[in-house]
Each structure stands twice: as C-alpha cells, then as structure tokens.
Structure 1
Amino acid sequence: MKITRIISHVLSCDMPEELGYSQQYYSKRSAHIVEVQTDEGVTGWGECFGPGNVALANKVIVERVIQPMILGDDPIDRDVIWHKVYNLLRDHGQKGMPLQALSGIDIALWDIAGKVAGLPIHKLIGGAHRTQVQAYGYGMMLKRQSVDDHIARFKDEAAAIRDMGFVATKMKLGLGPKDDVKLAQAVRDGVGPDFKFMADANHCYTTSDAFYVGRALDELDAYWFEEPVAPEDHDGYRELRAGLKVNISGGEAEFNRWGWRAILENRGLDIAQPEVCALGGISEYLRVLALCHAHFTPVINHVWGSAIAVATNLQLLAAMPPLPGGLNPWEPLLEFDTTENIFRDDLLADPLDIKKQVKASGGSVAIPQGPGIGVEPDRDFLKAYAVT
C-alpha cells in the first residue's frame, strides 16, 4: 500500500453570534480536516488544531511541505513516517504549526491502519479500559457586554449545562482578576454546591493575579484552574501548584515528548491536557501519555474542533489506562464545547450526537466501535463549507 495524495479540507462558516475568550473575540467557526488517500482505495481522516488563518497556513504545510516527503510511503509505517517528517522539519519548527500539520496526517494514518485491520484505534493501541466516558460541557464564553450581564448569563448558562446531563462544566475567564472572581461565584451559584466546575484563563494572568483568582477558586471548591499563566512560565505553574488547593491544569499549547518532558519534570501540573491534533498526532500523544503516567500525572485530553477530533479523542480515552488503578480509579473526562458547532454536529455521515447521548445516559458518551477512528465525514458537507 502506498500514499498517493494528501488533501487539506479547510472549512469555515459564520457563527450565530460572536464569542470570545481571554485572548480574542471571533465570529467565524473553522476546522482543518486532513484526508490521506492510498493506491488501494483506503482513505484516512485526521484533523489539525488551529483556527482561521492558522488553518490556511497549516494547509500549505500539509500539502506543499509534508506531502512531497511521504508520497509513495506505506501508510502503515506511521512511526517511520512520523520520525522522517519530524527530523526533516526539526530545523524549521519543533513546535507550533509544523507539529499541528503533522498531527492531522498522523491521525489519518492511524485511521488507515484501523481500517486495514478492521479494528477501532483503541484496539490497535491495546484495548478499551472503558466502553464509555463521562463528558463535561464547557461554555460561558466572553461577549462584548457589561460585567453584570456576564454574571447573569454565566449563572444561567452553568445551570443549563448541568441540566443537559453533563457531569461537570467549565467557564471562561478573562475580564480581569476581580471581575473574574465574580464570574466564578456566579457559576458556583448557578450549579449549586456539589456540582463540579472548572475555570479556564487561557493564560491571561501574571502569577500574582493568578494567585488572586486561584484563592477565590479554592474557596468556591473549583475542580481545576486551567492555563492560569503563560505556557512558557514553568516557574509560575510550579508556584501556583504549591500554593493553591485547586488543581492546576494545562498543556494544550505544548508539543511533542520533549516539550512535555520539561513540563512534567517541573511538577507544575495536577492535570495534564495534551491536544492530540496539535502535539504530533496519535503516535506522539501515546508517548506523551506514557510520560504523564510515568510522572503520576493524570490526563484529561484537551478537545477542540470538529467531529473528527472528538472521535479521535474518544478512541484515546477508551485506551487510556486508569491511574493509579483500584476498585474506583480516577477516570478521564471528554471535553465538549456546548456552543453551536456545525463542524462537530453536522460533519459526519452518521453523527455522534454527543448532547443526546449525554442526556440519555446521565453524562456518558459511547466509544465508536467502527474501524479506525470509527467515523466518516460527509463529502458533500466538506465541499459546501470548503475555503477556496
């Protein structure tokens, strides 16, 4: 079997309303789907992390930089291909967009391997430790509105996400430390005293401001405080973890095993959040997962993007060993964006329908059992939303 063509499908559409987080507002939804074709008619699908113009830049890397390196290679030799591409690109980017581009291709190669074997990816990895995974719903995005309007909306939206059946919810921060504490209080008021909630700063604070917000999250019994400071600030992460009760989480902006080794050896995370569509794909994710578990750091995958990303993560969550194990082990969660996303909800020929699953099951999502990642995109949908 040989790789004959690699196609980047960059999708875009207008969103029903503008949303934001601590770094920016955005009014368009995008996704970057990668298709790897072979001479035996087996096609693999993957996804690259990165919205908007980042996706367009990654499309060039996928099709014009990486594709010529691996045309004619056997797609089953995915680890050989991974190291070939990484070594050739090492002088030009050990992190960032080259790794995002490689991630989408690598995921597609795993999809091909699963289809050739007639097995879901979790079987190729070593089997399923669980046949379903609990999901948490995030929302409570920032808008161009007053603090008081944010407070009222966050309280209502948090309660609504709880009532959808999700086992926990996650809010955004980013109005400034004092106002963010008010938002966190509103979320706690909305979900009640016993429901898990998490707060995501998207690395907008200095360490001192993160301590201010983190102490409030301690009092509110938040489950984790995500990306409180810049991903480069390893000392800040370590200080926050030592000084706060709330779990410190992060890592979505880190790449490959070498970047993750530095984070883990620094002991600055209670919960690791690798992003498979960015850090180097499934091949590298499995190495990062092993590093995390070697450091006794539990993993809750960062999940952002289309239904391809969601399905890929479901396969990985199924195959994730419990840490440390026992009768009632610590279990991972599926991250799910509750805001409108047609590239997740309408992309597939046979939709996952996560919200319906969560409501019917009391918070759980089934692991796809089809070969590879277990899902197939609708080609007419890809054409309808393609950026040309």
Structure 2
Amino acid sequence: MKIQKIDIIEAVVPFEDGGTGMGVTPTRWHTLEFVLVRLETDSGIVGWGECFAYSCRQAVATAARTMVAPLLQGRDLPATPEELSLELQRKLHIFGRYGITMFAISGFDIALWDIAAQAQGKPLSAMWGPAQRTEVSAYASLTRYGDVALVDKYCRQAMEQGYRHVKLHEVDPEVIRAGRRACGPGIHMSVDVNCSWTEAGALERLPVLQEAELAWVEEPVFPPEAIAAQANINRRFPVGAGENACTRHEFARMLEAGAVAYPQPSVTKVGGVTEFLAVVQLAGQHGLTPMPHSPYFGPGYFATLHLLAVIPGAPLPEPLFEHLYIQPHADLALGGTPLPLQGKVQIPTAAGLGFAPDMAVLERFVV
C-alpha cells in the first residue's frame, strides 16, 4: 500500500466564547485555524490528520506542503507508522527540531495512524491493546476572561451542563477565587496561566492556588523550558505542563527533573500519535497520569479520545479530556464531533480515527 495523493487543507472557523478573546494569543482569539492533512492510498483508504495551527496557520501549512509532503509522496506504508514518522524527524531536524516543523509532522503522523487502523479494520485505540475505558470525563476548559462576573457565569453554566471538572485560564487571584466560588466545593478545578509568571511570582501565588483547592497549576513560569524553576514549584504544588513540549525527549527531561505532576502532551504538537504514545509510556514509568492538551476540534480531537482510551488509570488518577468551552460556528466532522454530555465523552468506535469532514461545511470555511 502506497501514498498516492496528499492534500493540505486550510480552514478558519469563527467561534464565540462570551469574552473579548484577549489575553492568551498575540492578537484577539476568536477563530479556530485548521491545517488538515489528507492522505489517500493506492488502495483507496483516506487518512486524516491535523497540525496545530493557532496563530501560525500559514507557516504550518507551508511546512506541511513543502517540507513533509514531498518526503511521503509515493511511499510504501508499513503496518504501523513509527519508523516512517521518526524518519521524517531525522530528515527535517536541521530545519527546526520543534515548533512549526513538529506541528506539521504531527498532522501527517495522525493521518498515517488513521490509515493503519483502517487497513486493519480497527478503531485506532484497538491498535494498542485492550481499552481502559469507552468514555472519558471531560473538563470545561474556559478561555481567559479576566473578569469575575464572566468567570462566575461560565463556571455556573458548565456545572448546569453536568461538568464536574473545570479549568480556568486566569492569572488574577480574585478571578481564580471567583471560579472556585462559582463551582463550589468538590469540583475538580485547575488553572492554566500560560507561562505568565516568574518563578518568584508563582511561589508568591501558591497560597491563592491552595485556597482555591486547585488540582494543578499549568505552565506557571516563562519560559516553558525553565525546568529547574518548574521543578521548584512542583515540589510545593502540583504542576501540569507539556503543551509546549515536542517529542518524548523534552518530556523525559521534565520527568527526570521532577518538574511535572501531570504531563500534558498535545497530539497536534508533540509529534502526533507516535510521540504521544512514547510520552504515555514515560509517564507510566514515573507513576504519573497524562492529562492531554486538546483545545482543538478535528482529527486531533478524535485522536486524543482514542489515546485516552488506553492511558492507564486506577490506582493512578483517571485521565481527563480537555474540551475547549466555546461555541464554534460549524462542526467540520461528518456525523458530528462527539461532544461532552453530562461531563462525559464517548470514545469513537469506527475504524481508524472515526473522523471524516463534512465537505459541504468544510467548503464554507476553507481558505
């Protein structure tokens, strides 16, 4: 079986979140940017992947078209994609080991795994052994509001919808406290500050995090590769980190330094399914549960659900699915994306990822 045709598709879908969209990304964040990878084999199997593309869509799409695609066109496909994916990393490492290059490779790796699973007539999760679960608890991952009233509103709304897990993206102690008051006791809460603090600033805020009874603080310091600072904080309060880490090797450094309590690989950034699975294995060796980073919609969303099917749980904490708490103007998935219902998401059971785009919808938003 060979790769016969490669398409890189860009799309932009607006969304609503009830806020200003300011505070996390360089400019206002109010659209979902997609770089989709479509691989078609000579036997007619079509695999789909997704490259991380928020605020960098054009650069990622160019890397996918001009750097990765030429290396795969016409290639014979092995039964599983690991070696082919690692070959891509080796051939492209001098053009940027991490960041844009790895975002592009991630999308192709996801598509290759989709093909491999379809060729065997299995859901992707079945490629890695017995499933640990058929559904997973989701947390409402709120965008940054920087506003007590809005955080109160959306935390309460999430509770009414059945969520029992919430993540804020706030840096103001009063806004964080407002989130806890709105959710009430017994609700699993965390906060992602997106590398907004210094080490000293993070340590000063630990009493607020403890008062709010947070499960973890995510990416507390800049830069995200400041492993020693992160480890110092992690000794005092649980740290979640890894959305900015690419490949198993960056995670290995964090784990060996004791810099993370909840490793957070992002399948569209880390190097796809291949690297994500390696991170799961490393985390298990350290007795830790991965809590994937997944604030996106598309093949990456579906791939994350399949990966969550096989991440070990009890006696360790059960893994959670990050669901970006927004309202996109459209759903690209044919038949619909499996969304949380009463705080739970069903893991797809169709062969491969279970994702195919609704072409009529995609055509409305394609760039």
TM-score range, shorter chain: over 0.9
Change (3 A) 1:290 1:353: closer
- Find out whether 1:10 has 2:10 as its counterpart: yes
Which residue in the other structure is 1:46 paired with?
49
Q: How far has the Cα of 1:61 moved from its partner? A: 1.2
Which residue in the other structure is 1:74 paired with?
76
Q: How far has the Cα of 1:276 moved from its partner? A: 0.8
CA distance in 1, matches of 2:69, 2:25: 33
CA distance in 1, matches of 2:126, 2:13: 35
Which amino acid is the alignment partner of residue 251 of structure 2? Answer: W
SS in 1 for 2:351: coil
Q: How far has the Cα of 1:243 moved from its partner? A: 2.5
TM-score by length of 1: 0.89
Query: Could you list the runs of 5+ residues in structure 1 that have no partner in the other structure?
Result: 144-149, 175-179
Deviations 1:306-360, CA, capped at 9 Å, x for gaps: 13222111100001122xx44xx521011101111245xx1111113414xx23x
Which residue in the other structure is 1:65 paired with?
67
Which residue in the other structure is 1:292 paired with?
283
Change (3 A) 1:12 1:349: same
Q: How far has the Cα of 1:140 moved from its partner? A: 4.6
Which residue in the other structure is 2:179 paired with?
187
Which residue in the other structure is 1:236 paired with?
229
Count of residues in Structure 1 that have an aligned counterpart in Structure 2: 362
Which amino acid is the alignment partner of residue 350 of structure 1? Answer: G
Which residue in the other structure is 2:192 paired with?
200
CA distance in 1, matches of 2:141, 2:275: 26
Which residue in the other structure is 1:135 paired with?
138
Which residue in the other structure is 1:55 paired with?
57
Change (3 A) 1:353 1:315: closer
Q: How far has the Cα of 1:156 moved from its partner? A: 1.8
Which amino acid is the alignment partner of residue 353 of structure 2? Answer: I
CA distance in 1, matches of 2:24, 2:145: 8
SS in 2 for 1:162: helix
CA distance in 2, matches of 1:315, 1:27: 27
Which residue in the other structure is 2:201 paired with?
209
Which residue in the other structure is 2:170 paired with?
173
Match 2:334 to one of 349, 361, 365: 349
Which amino acid is the alignment partner of residue 20 of structure 1? Answer: M
Match 1:122 to one of 101, 118, 125: 125
CA distance in 2, matches of 1:215, 1:15: 35
CA distance in 2, matches of 1:106, 1:386: 22
SS in 1 for 2:83: helix
Q: How far has the Cα of 1:97 moved from its partner? A: 0.9
CA distance in 2, matches of 1:100, 1:173: 26
Q: How far has the Cα of 1:213 moved from its partner? A: 2.2
Q: How far has the Cα of 1:23 moved from its partner? A: 4.6
- Find out whether 1:316 has 2:316 as its counterpart: no
RMSD: 1.6
Which residue in the other structure is 1:146 paired with?
none
Deviations 1:47-79, CA, capped at 9 Å, x for gaps: 111213x12111111111111112111233522
Which residue in the other structure is 1:147 paired with?
none
**After the TM superposition, which residues 252-263 of structure 1 pair with which residues of structure 2 at under 5 Å, given as runs?**
252-263=243-254
- Name the structure with the higher helix share: 1
Match 1:99 to one of 97, 102, 108: 102
The 10-residue stretch of structure 1 (9-18 or 214-223) with the greater mean CA deviation from structure 2? 9-18
CA distance in 1, matches of 2:122, 2:158: 34
CA distance in 1, matches of 2:21, 2:361: 24
Query: Could you list the runs of 5+ residues in structure 2 that have no partner in the other structure?
Result: none
Amino-acid identity (%): 27
Whether the 8 Å CA contact 2:263–2:288 is kept in 1: the answer is: yes
SS in 1 for 2:74: coil
Whether the 8 Å CA contact 1:23–1:202 is kept in 2: the answer is: no
SS in 2 for 1:6: strand
TM-score by length of 2: 0.94
